[in-house]
A and B are shown apart, each in its own frame.
Chain A
């Protein structure tokens, strides 16, 4: 039983990464843009995210660290302020109506000034508390993931611009991104710190969640020896399911991937929508990159071990549906874990196969599934096609 728990707990990191990145892939592919660049985006996000973590761990903060801290706390405070504002306006309080955010209206000057002052004060307080109390371990991880996500989103914009606005072949521009990311990471890292590895010292694994970890079976399965990223991934899965199937944006997204011309004729801006989808996928992939490095290694060494490509396989395996992706991520996570920890399982170890045989399983499984189910796959119809308004 302990071995089974161990296996499941070992499978969580790979599962988490595959789930998050494949969800990002779901967003772009549902909008009709293929994104082979997920691998490159992951590397790019992981590079800067892990670097941020590396910086935050060194106690006497450097200038870059302080800038990162200020940026991150600014993003937090602003997003919380906006959330409160919109929440209150939804409740129907006139003082917080959406019109008050209009910067051009001179009437709102006082309100906006007060808000900005509050944002500055709160940001300052957060940064100050970092200085005084140090940054908690798990918070460092979350900051790193955030930075990775933001960087990934920015990087994905390059692909979005080429493949949506410049009508480039989506696979080619993505290939360019895949080529650029590792080269840039090696080049920059070697230049600045004379070595391409970026180490980090903290172990972010949570040995046992207090209280919940003591529940007999569930506690062992879900609440011990996990990373916080696991819960983030599950939350993202739910959020994404709601976005894609229950929101206006999701409906438009799906329409855009199935028949962009029809969607356009109903007044949807295809270019904007696809751009948003690709950028969001970059966000997910960047986060996934950081999570991969954090949970499988103790340093960033310019690789995410092909997880970006594997995530695309997960996406196809899961038939472009969130639930399917969850299943596929679990399957792929387990096969990947078998490859890395089969030596701990006497049953498999006695078979005498070497590691590479287990590594082969997910790829061959994908090929077989593709071969048999490709004809009735539910791939978005406009997937990979360049959208041209004038073409009919």
Chain B
């Protein structure tokens, strides 16, 4: 019998190696996003320095610390904001994987929010059942709103970008009509408060004073489900195949039309959930001024930052919600929170050009290398 001696040093070495490799791989995958975030923050900083150099650095610090500025309450509010953004980001990312650009997440979210509020206000169901029904109905409404552009795309080849922009505006106007007709609070000119039973369970015991609810857990679960659908099932394989090449997957015998419809419906249902989560809270109401929810556009940024992956959308959503909270706390300096939108715009722009940017970087790196070589050689010659 030859007994193997377990050398603790080797074990640690190996584990270290594995962790190091994993981190390295993660870094390579995340590099474009990190470069984009870095450039976005840099340009934001430059703009802030131009307008007010003294406050720029502390303001940027506050921005990055984000929700943690406000202690547990701030973190709770960040989580409340994060859940809808993660879900709209997931909606955009999921459609993205199928080669569709769902710019209509806002509209789907609005319809989800309205239906959830409608059920929350006008029906009374026992206890837990009420919010579950309201939530599921919101999801369904979003799914229907996503289904329409999907059907149009599949059946008569309408560009989904244009049709979902139209759907956003239809939703915006329809929302006002529906609110004024069914759930109108005329003294405040907004929707009525939902009933207590329709409220998603709050996490006030963990995060006192905040509006944090279990939405974040729902978001995480949905992200995991979406990841499994996309990467571990036949359906997901078909969706991704259509995303890579629509004619290719058609040639392979897949039903691309059904794939388009499925992807848009699922995407819409995620956005609908976002709406339900954001508004199934007592005291959150929709006004009657025309507005298209900004969370849908945040979803685009989140999906791009998350590299079109559900898991990526989770982290990107948390990051975005955090710096949005940071912008809230940043108001104590002389800056307007809109700086965050500028930073996000730059981030989106940089991720859009990232693949070409990497080639440019590579070229510069090679140039610098060749210069340094030349200088080095000269020194040797001397």
Partner-B contacts on A (CB < 8 A): 34, 36, 158, 162, 165-169, 171-173, 175-180, 182-184, 186-187, 190-191, 306, 309, 312-313, 316, 354, 356-357, 359-360, 363-364, 366-367, 370-372, 374-375
Distance of A366 Cα from B165 Cα, bound (Å): 11
Name the A residues within 8 Å of B101 (CB-CB): 171
- Is residue B246 within 8 Å, beta carbon to beta carbon, of the partner chain? no
Distance of A183 Cα from B176 Cα, bound (Å): 25
Partner of B348, one of A36, A175, A312, A357: A175
Number of A-B contacts (CB under 8 A): 137
Name the B residues within 8 Å of A313 (CB-CB): 162, 165-166
Partner of A363, one of B47, B157, B159, B170: B170
A370 touches B356 (CB 8 A): no
* Range, interface on chain B: 35 or more
- Is residue B336 within 8 Å, beta carbon to beta carbon, of the partner chain? yes
What's the nearest-Cβ distance from chain B to residue A8, in Å?
24
Question: Known: A312-B162, A370-B152, A375-B157. Is A180-B345 also a contact (CB below 8 A)?
Answer: yes
Question: Known: A367-B163, A367-B166. Is A360-B345 also a contact (CB below 8 A)?
Answer: no
Distance of A114 Cα from B335 Cα, bound (Å): 50
- Is residue B174 within 8 Å, beta carbon to beta carbon, of the partner chain? yes
Partner of B152, one of A171, A176, A316, A367: A367
Distance of A162 Cα from B352 Cα, bound (Å): 8
Q: What are the interface flags for B141-185 relative to A under an 8 Å C-beta threshold, 1 for contact and 0 otherwise?
A: 000000010001001111101110111011001101100100000
Distance of A183 Cα from B294 Cα, bound (Å): 12
Partner-A contacts on B (CB < 8 A): 47, 51-52, 101, 103, 148, 152, 155-159, 161-163, 165-167, 169-170, 173-174, 176-177, 180, 290, 297, 300-301, 304, 334-336, 338-342, 344-346, 348-349, 351-353, 355-357
What's the nearest-Cβ distance from chain B to residue A48, in Å?
16
Question: Known: A162-B349, A191-B51, A356-B177. Is A171-B161 also a contact (CB below 8 A)?
Answer: yes
Name the B residues within 8 Å of A357 (CB-CB): 173, 177
B348 touches A366 (CB 8 A): no
Name the B residues within 8 Å of A168 (CB-CB): 349, 352-353, 356
Question: Known: A313-B166, A370-B163. Is A166-B341 also a contact (CB below 8 A)?
Answer: no
What's the nearest-Cβ distance from chain B to residue A222, in Å?
31
Find the residue from B162, B300, B349, B357 having the highest chain A CB count within 10 A.
B349
Given contacts A169-B352, A367-B152, A367-B163, 18 further A-B contacts (CB under 8 A): A36-B165, A158-B349, A162-B352, A165-B356, A166-B353, A167-B355, A175-B297, A179-B341, A179-B345, A187-B339, A187-B342, A309-B165, A312-B165, A354-B180, A357-B177, A360-B173, A363-B173, A374-B158
Distance of A45 Cα from B251 Cα, bound (Å): 47
Partner of B352, one of A172, A359, A367: A172
B342 touches A180 (CB 8 A): yes
A186 touches B348 (CB 8 A): no
A371 touches B166 (CB 8 A): no
Nearest B residue to A170 by beta-carbon distance?
B352
Partner of A166, one of B162, B173, B340, B356: B356
Name the B residues within 8 Å of A183 (CB-CB): 338-342, 345
Question: Known: A172-B304, A176-B345. Is A366-B156 also a contact (CB below 8 A)?
Answer: no
Name the A residues within 8 Å of B180 (CB-CB): 354
Name the B residues within 8 Å of A165 (CB-CB): 356
Distance of A173 Cα from B162 Cα, bound (Å): 16
Name the B residues within 8 Å of A360 (CB-CB): 170, 173-174
Name the A residues within 8 Å of B148 (CB-CB): 367
Distance of A184 Cα from B52 Cα, bound (Å): 15
Distance of A359 Cα from B155 Cα, bound (Å): 27
Name the B residues within 8 Å of A167 (CB-CB): 353, 355-356
A36 touches B345 (CB 8 A): no
Name the A residues within 8 Å of B165 (CB-CB): 36, 309, 312-313
Question: Known: A360-B174, A367-B152. Is A184-B342 also a contact (CB below 8 A)?
Answer: yes
Partner of A374, one of B47, B156, B174, B344: B156
